[in-house]
Amino acid sequence: MKLDIRPMDLLKDFVVIVTVIGIVAGVAYQAGWIVNRANAGEMIAQSVYQEALDRERADLRFQIEMTSSKMQTLAEKPDRNQYDDLVLQGYVDDLKRLHARLGVIEAPEEPVQ
């Protein structure tokens, strides 16, 4: 049995296969199943930024909790002196600063138009 392979038939089959692959890849890209490098870099940067915000938010909450605990312990001290009052005022100032920073982080971002 002799195979009858013509170069034009092979070329036509190759073009059809490449066209089908191109169409499938285009549909997959438009559907979001395939992400180009620029979008992937942007997605990674956004993820890293969000992770940093989450860590800072957790750290601020921990600092607020610790400062509140120290402040409460010092406020309950029966024989407070003038130095203790200064330290207590420092804790109050720290709490204001920490709450202000936490408010900035938790504020929703305004969409850029």
In a domain, 3, yes or no: no
The number of residues making up the chain comes to: 113
The pLDDT tens digits for 60-110 are 999 999 999 999 999 898 898 999 999 999 999 999 999 999 998 887 666
In a domain, 112, yes or no: no
Q: How far is CA 61 from CA 8, 25, 57, 94, in A?
A: 71, 46, 6, 12
Q: Total structural domains in the chain?
A: 1
The pLDDT tens digits for 4-31 are 677 777 788 888 889 998 888 887 777 7
What burial class does residue 70 get, using C-beta atoms within 10 Å of its C-beta: 0-12 exposed, 13-18 middle, 19+ buried? middle
CA angle (22 as vertex; 20, 4 as ends), nearest 5: 45
The overall pTM is greater than 0.85: no
Range of the domain at 67: 16-106
